[in-house]
Structure 1
Amino acid sequence: MSATETQFSSERNQIEDQNQGFKMGEIENPEVMTRVINFLSSLLERVAESNDMNRHFDSLSASSSSSKVSVFHGLTRPNITIQSYLERIFKYANCSPSCFVIAYVYLDRFAQKQPSLPINSFNVHRLLITSVMVAAKFMDDLYYNNAYYAKVGGISTIEMNYLEVDFLFGLSFHLNVTPNTFHTYCSYLQREMLMESPPLNLAESSLSLSRSLKLHCCFNDDDSTHQQQLTV
């Protein structure tokens, strides 16, 4: 067994121990996922609206050249809301629940690495479908091809291919997510969700999001210095 395989096995065992008996790929708590989808939708809506406003003011000044148009940028705003779009992806992607947290990690990294491409209402939908697809490909043993995700996202397969390539280069192919990073993002999501919608009882408030979502495939990668930028 190679050093990489040994490292991979060690990471997998560590995650299994931390999740205390949960099986790989199992949806442990659908109610938690519903809240995660709702919160991520709300977060991305706020980010998009904020950047839309900044983009409007930039267009009135000389600083408009500081932002650029990418393959993720649509000519018009999609009619479907961010929440409805993310719910559609969740319904049809059939990927493991952890992929949506990983997609959030990827979007955060993208925002850090590509400051000239802020998430707004013209690109957020394409960034969402691409980030989930890339997360599923990297995390899950079984996943749908680009043509399927293109249908889910309402775009052509050719466009889906271009989006995937640009997203990977935008991330500098930094796809590894350590258990520590995963649990950090889960803790952040859980804390923010509790602030927005306090639980009705203490038992619910003690629920660990990182235990409810399974990170079942991870390589060793020192990401302890990451910073969350995708906030408002």
Structure 2
Amino acid sequence: METSRVELPAVFEEAPIDQLVHLIADMMERLMSHNDRIPLSPECLTRFHSRSAPSISVLDYLKRIVKFTNVEKSCLLITLYYIDRICTRMPLFTLSSLTCHRFTIASITVSSKGLCDTFCPNHLYAKVGGISVTELNILEREFLSMIDWRLMCTREILQDYYVNLVRTHSTAKFVINGAQSPSTSSDSDLDMDSGHSSPPSPSENPSRWSRPSTAEPSIMQDLSQRPTIEQNMAFAALQQSQDYTNSVTERK
């Protein structure tokens, strides 16, 4: 039986938030399924690792966050940007069933404070996320360190992630209304570094968005050239597997 197509607006701001949640959860579930097969070594452990995987699914977890925190769509999408950024800076980190939930609530907490005029207090984010306030405070500081305190990206980049989510959804049931989806907007730029309302595209000046070091490859390339979040996670998985094999060999 063929799955019925679901048409979505060309821009993420107009997409129903419940559909956006399904798109993001689908991507995260696939990343988790991939990364859960990677052997976990001591050097890969972070504050985001749980002792066991939470019983709540990522989809239900995101729905819970949306229901009780009134999170904005940009904060949901920018979580994917943070995953790419952190996996570029820290190749040993992977989004798995042990890290996804804590990572997500920390990301929502941080991005809401950085992007939104109004946001919830930490005790509410902690309650919704199922952790203590003390733990969330620690995760928030760790998260900021992992992204090098670079909270902002452009609206253009979030639009690119939205298009990619629709294009790569596992069921292929979502389709964007219209042949092309705009990826620029003069009124909804999220980059706070310059104060300009209409920044150039990342391909024109990629260093402006990510300011990578010579040892850190930029992930802010043109959409046709920029690796997808799946490719970045696959690279991180390969790097982690190689590091783990090398460490075992050295111990022998």
TM range (shorter): 0.7 to 0.9
Aligned to 2:79: 103
What is the alpha-carbon distance in structure 2 between the residues aligned to residue 34 and residue 122 of structure 1? 24
Aligned to 1:218: 191
Aligned to 1:14: none
- Gap change, CA 1:206 and 1:89, over 3 Å in 2: farther
Q: CA RMSD in A?
A: 2.9
Answering whether residue 23 of structure 2 is matched by residue 47 of structure 1, we say no
Answering whether residue 168 of structure 2 is matched by residue 184 of structure 1, we say no
Structure having the larger proportion of residues in helix: 1
Shift of 1:190: 3.4
What is the alpha-carbon distance in structure 1 between the residues aligned to residue 61 and residue 168 of structure 2? 21
Shift of 1:184: 2.4
Aligned to 2:70: 94
- Gap change, CA 1:37 and 1:139, over 3 Å in 2: same
What are the residue-to-residue correspondences of 1:4-23 with 2, within 5 Å?
none
What is the alpha-carbon distance in structure 1 between the residues aligned to residue 166 and residue 184 of structure 2? 11
- Gap change, CA 1:215 and 1:150, over 3 Å in 2: farther
1:100-152 superposed Cα distances (whole Å, 9 cap, x missing partner): 11122112212222211211101110001111111111100110111110001
Shift of 1:208: 4.2
Q: Which runs of 5 or more residues in structure 2 are unaligned?
A: 1-10, 194-206, 211-217, 220-225, 232-252
Q: Which runs of 5 or more residues in structure 1 are unaligned?
A: 1-21
1:163-220 superposed Cα distances (whole Å, 9 cap, x missing partner): 0000010111121202332332233223334972144xxx8345848689x9464314
Answering whether residue 203 of structure 2 is matched by residue 230 of structure 1, we say no
Aligned to 1:11: none
Answering whether residue 150 of structure 2 is matched by residue 174 of structure 1, we say yes
- Gap change, CA 1:30 and 1:180, over 3 Å in 2: closer
Q: Percent identity?
A: 28
Residue identity in the other structure for 2:76? F
What is the alpha-carbon distance in structure 1 between the residues aligned to residue 115 and residue 227 of structure 2? 21
8 A Cα contact 1:108 1:228, kept in partner: no
Aligned to 2:247: none
Aligned to 1:15: none
SS at match of 1:161: helix
Residue identity in the other structure for 2:209? D
8 A Cα contact 2:155 2:184, kept in partner: no
What are the residue-to-residue correspondences of 1:80-229 with 2, within 5 Å?
80-193=56-169, 196-199=172-175, 204-205=177-178, 208=181, 215=188, 217-220=190-193, 222-223=208-209, 225-226=218-219, 227-228=226-227
TM-score, structure 2 normalization = 0.67
**Larger relative contact order, structure 1 or 2 (CA cutoff 8 Å, min sep 6):** 1
- Gap change, CA 1:223 and 1:145, over 3 Å in 2: same
Aligned to 1:35: 19
1:46-96 superposed Cα distances (whole Å, 9 cap, x missing partner): 1111111012xxx5xxxx35x421111111110101111111111112122
Residue identity in the other structure for 2:192? F
